[in-house]
Amino acid sequence: MDCIRLAEISSFALVFAVEVGKHLYWTIGSYKVHGQVFIVSWLVIVILIVVAFVGTRKLDKVPEKWQNFMEFILEFLQDIAKNQIGEHEYRSWVPYIATIFLFILGSNWAGALIPWKLIHLPEGELAAPTNDINTTVALSLLTSMAYFYAGLTKNGLGYFIRYIEPTPILLPINILEDFTKPLSLSFRLFGNILADELVVSVFTLLVPVLVPLPVMILGLFASSIQALIFSTLSAAYIGEAMEGHGDH
């Protein structure tokens, strides 16, 4: 019985060894920033830039290898923007939707594939930038600014008519909706990525040989889906804001 109880205590100790909420802070002036988020974010950005450069430095009429892969990715991202924003308006928004998708996908995969626990920091640990609520909120606020900009650019002040459609009684609800959009985007992405990393960490601590591998593969799939959901919803919000409310 004592052996069994000791094993149970050891298992709980391993689970609680997975730390959440500890960060390496850098002090810049009077501000504190999360150092590990900046490190991994810039690593993801550098990797994306290198892949884009290698895939586009020599373009041929008949695409091969990297160019073929890059054109497939571009067509995929164009389809997301076209389906959500519309045939005539989507082109100017492809760079934003593509950047959001690729950065989130790269960040998610960086957290799932790279063994960050081997790198020890004075405080906290390296992980996917998207498992930090500050990153997901920042991305969501960018989307909020993007769809406000899209609506005002397309419809002018007539954009605000949407708040009293189909009846002025819905004004508070329509205003509240604009606050819930970034909240839902940010917490959905943050919650799913954090949960995935915690599950992988716990399984790695408890059964470090075989079990984590299928969980990691499932995590890669889930990470890709989260990037797709975030970028698709961002495009949908932009497309909704650009509808012709001012023409009514």
Residue 9 within any structural domain of the chain: no
Residue 5 within any structural domain of the chain: no
Residue 10 within any structural domain of the chain: no
State residue 145's pLDDT score: 92
Residue 17 within any structural domain of the chain: no
Residue 13 within any structural domain of the chain: no
Contacts of residue 171, Cβ cutoff 8 Å, sequence gap at least 6: 163, 164
Range of the domain at 43: 22-247
- Quote the pTM value: 0.81
User: What is the tally of structural domains in the chain?
Assistant: 1
Pick out the chain residues at pLDDT < 50: 1-19, 246-248
Residue 15 within any structural domain of the chain: no
Residue 115 within any structural domain of the chain: yes
Sign, CA torsion 229/234/236/237 = positive
Residue 12 within any structural domain of the chain: no
Tokens of 238: 């932009």
Give yes or no for a contact between 121 and 24, defined as CB atoms under 8 angstroms apart: yes
Please give the Cα distance from 219 to 222 (Å, whole number): 5
Please give the Cα distance from 126 to 112 (Å, whole number): 11
State residue 8's pLDDT score: 39
| pLDDT tens column, 195-215 | 777 776 676 666 665 656 776
| Start-to-end C-alpha separation, the chain | 76
Please give the Cα distance from 98 to 104 (Å, whole number): 10
